[in-house]
Amino acid sequence: MRITDVSVVIHERAPSMAAFGPRGAKVPLGVLRVITDEGIEGNAFLSSPGPGAEALARQVIGVIKPWLVGADPLDIGAHARRMDGLRHYLTPHAIGVTDVALWDIAGKAAGLPVHRLLGTCREKLPAYLSTAHHQTAGDYADEARYWQGQGWQGYKLHPPRGPWLPPGASPPVSFDIAACEAVRAAVGDSMTLMLDSSWAYSYPEALRVGRAIEDLGFHWYEDPLPDRDIHGYTRLARHLSIPLLATEITPGGLEALPPWITSGATDFLRGDVVIKGGITGLVKIAHLAEAFGMNCEIHDSYNALNNVAALHVALAVHNCEWFEVLPFNPTGAPGLEHWNYGLATPMEIDGSGYVRVPPGPGLGARIDWDLINSSVAGVIS
């Protein structure tokens, strides 16, 4: 089998449903099409955050396509190594989405879901609801209670803060503690709770909040300190018993992670298929974590089709316990429409809070081409 063409359809999506970035603007969604001479097509979605769909498409078409066309799509390891060698020309996103599309081809060629090629461990995983930024502690409590009522077993708060926000835009950390207390009081002890503080605390703040959520029986404490502060995380780990979860956006590839393990700076590794080298890269990170008896808790992969790809990985490793779901509906109303945007076969969460991949070979999810073609801003090829 040979690759005959690579292109990206830019779909003009409106309005933006970003929960952490600017709202209201049009946000393009790119559909990567890797075409082969056997009539099999591999796909991935290109989106923000990162450089955005159009800039990513130009990287894929300008830097990867020239040598990928004519190659065997099943030489995924060789292609991954070559893309890794082009890291100074490419953002991680361009590498990740290309790798996802190649795995989609591999699965379709074999007539098997991707997780079966990787080595299936299980068919489903519990999902946790991962929040947008809310204004009051009660907003979080109400939302957690709603999803608990839908059968979900896990809920993770994102307090309204992040290093990308202007100074003074966030409430004091006492807000975060109050929100965590309100959620625990609302859902009782049966729901698993996590806190993701988006790299936003000083060390004293991180210690204060960490002690509070330890007392509330939270399951993990995600990204309390700036993303590269390995010394701060190591110090924090010595003073807290709650597991720390870092490395979601750690720059670099696989080789950037061992210092986080050996220094005890994090209790889990973290990754997604977009910025950690695609399915190939994420599997390597999960296996690295396994060698140290650690979980690799897989991160939301920024759009619907990449989340499907991430779930295939999660089903094919032992050491991922939870699957992150960020619904982000612009109206604030509960629902998974945004999370599944662009898919004709959406991922669904069952009444016990478990998520499965859509059935079928490759990634399994069918793209909603009627929706994509209803608003095409252009094709980059």
Binding site for Mg ion (CB under 5 A): 196, 248
Closer CB to Mg ion, residue 205 or residue 248? 248
Closer CB to Mg ion, residue 98 or residue 197? 197
**Residues near 377 by Cβ (< 8 Å), separated by ≥ 6?**
10, 11, 12, 28
State the minimum distance, in angstroms, from the CB of residue 344 to Mg ion: 29
Closer CB to Mg ion, residue 61 or residue 173? 173
What is the C-alpha to C-alpha distance for residues 225 and 233, in angstroms, rounded to an integer?
Answer: 7
Closer CB to Mg ion, residue 57 or residue 296? 296
Exposure class string for 260-286: b at 16+ Cβ within 10 A, else e: bbeeebbbbbbbbbbbbbbbbbbbbbb
What is the C-alpha to C-alpha distance for residues 83 and 96, in angstroms, rounded to an integer?
Answer: 9
Closest residue to Mg ion: CB criterion: 196
The number of CA neighbours under 13 Å toward the Cβ of 261 is 20
Contact call for residues 49 and 21 (beta carbons, < 8 A):
yes
Contact call for residues 57 and 46 (beta carbons, < 8 A):
yes
What is the C-alpha to C-alpha distance for residues 270 and 257, in angstroms, rounded to an integer?
Answer: 10
At 155, which amino acid appears?
Y
What tokens were used for 278? 């695609």
**Residues near 182 by Cβ (< 8 Å), separated by ≥ 6?**
137, 138, 140, 141
Closer CB to Mg ion, residue 99 or residue 248? 248
What tokens were used for 40? 């099999």
Among residues 261, 352, 358, 353, the alpha carbon closest in space to that of 304 is found at: 358
Closer CB to Mg ion, residue 99 or residue 196? 196
Closer CB to Mg ion, residue 165 or residue 344? 165
DSSP 228-255: T-HHHHHHHHHH--SPEE--SS-SSSGG
User: Phi-psi bin for 220: left (phi > 0), alpha (psi -120 to 50), beta?
Assistant: beta
Closer CB to Mg ion, residue 205 or residue 300? 300
